[in-house]
């Protein structure tokens, strides 16, 4: 095979392989996969300091949200203006999620995109999508006492072993779980004061596994 012919063959092969590499999320010349949440981290880096988030209009909404056996979402700071505009912008999340560290400081773990169902459905025929993921619908009634809404989490600042867009992150801990969590089981009555001598079953409250802030 002549040098010119071999060069033409290699050029054709490289051109055919390029779309495959791009679709696989590979960076040209490095073989490394791109991170779809990298731009989000750039957009929210200043919010690693919760004071900056508050200055930008984010307000704490409930305490640390926890789901037994599934994990936690952490503490949400929500921007009411963003929630009410019926728009989805990857660089402008409606909510920020924080985890309280052992030193008492809040650490940014991820974000949540939120849009009310009624506002979105009035202008669209399908649920919103972002990062190739379809938003979840949290119906009414829900633990937050708000109308039905679409939501999607993005764990940009703390990895989630169950998936970057899952609601619950088992690696996020709640130092003080929110009031939405079921109370611990009651202690059995003292045998000396019990009329029957046996403790009665007293099941705690339960709640659904809905997502959202």
Question: What predicted TM-score, i.e. pTM, was given to this entire model?
Answer: 0.71
Q: What is the pLDDT at residue 88?
A: 97
Looking at the chain, list the stretches that DSSP marks H as alpha helix, in order from N- to C-terminal side. 3-23, 38-44, 50-55, 80-83, 117-121
Extract the tokens encoding 1: 């095979």
Extract the tokens encoding 117: 């169902």
In 3D space, the residue among 95, 93, 107 whose CA is nearest the CA of residue 173 turns out to be 107
**What SS3 class is residue 160?**
coil
Extract the tokens encoding 175: 């130092």
Residue-by-residue pLDDT tens, the chain, 213 positions:
544 544 453 443 344 443 334 333 444 445 565 888 999 999 999 999 999 999 999 999 999 999 999 999 999 999 999 999 999 999 999 999 999 999 999 999 999 999 999 999 999 999 999 999 999 999 999 989 999 999 999 999 999 999 999 999 999 999 876 654 444 444 444 544 443 444 334 333 333 456 777
Q: What is the pLDDT at residue 141?
A: 95
Q: Based on the number of CB atoms within 10 Å of its own CB, is 211 exposed (0-12), middle (13-18) or buried (19 or more)? A: buried
In 3D space, the residue among 102, 78, 76, 103 whose CA is nearest the CA of residue 92 turns out to be 78
Extract the tokens encoding 91: 């660089």
Q: What is the pLDDT at residue 177?
A: 67
Residues 123 and 116 sit within 8 Å (Cβ to Cβ): no
Q: What is the pLDDT at residue 209?
A: 54
Q: What is the pLDDT at residue 192?
A: 42
Q: What is the pLDDT at residue 110?
A: 98
| 112-156 tens-digit pLDDT | 999 999 999 999 999 999 999 999 999 999 989 999 999 999 999
**Residue pointed to by tokens 């402008």:** 92
């Amino acid at each position: 095979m002549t040098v010119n012919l071999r060069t033409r063959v290699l050029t054709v092969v490289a051109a055919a392989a390029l779309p495959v590499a791009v679709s696989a999320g590979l960076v040209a010349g490095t073989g490394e996969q791109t991170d779809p949440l990298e731009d989000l981290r750039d957009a929210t880096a200043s919010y690693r300091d919760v004071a900056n988030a508050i200055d930008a209009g984010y307000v704490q909404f409930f305490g640390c949200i926890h789901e037994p056996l599934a994990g936690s979402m952490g503490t949400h700071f929500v921007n009411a203006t963003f929630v009410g505009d019926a728009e989805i912008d990857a660089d402008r999340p409606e909510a920020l999620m924080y985890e309280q560290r052992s030193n008492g400081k809040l650490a940014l773990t991820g974000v949540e995109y939120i849009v009310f169902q009624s506002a979105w459905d009035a202008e669209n025929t399908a649920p919103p999508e972002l990062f190739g993921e379809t938003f979840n619908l949290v119906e009414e009634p829900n633990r937050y006492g708000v109308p039905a809404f679409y939501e999607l989490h993005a764990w940009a600042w703390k990895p989630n072993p169950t998936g970057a867009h899952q609601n619950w992150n088992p690696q996020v801990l709640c130092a003080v779980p929110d009031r939405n969590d079921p109370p611990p089981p009651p202690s059995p009555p003292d045998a000396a004061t019990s009329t029957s001598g046996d403790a009665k079953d007293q099941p705690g409250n339960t709640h659904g596994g809905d997502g959202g802030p």
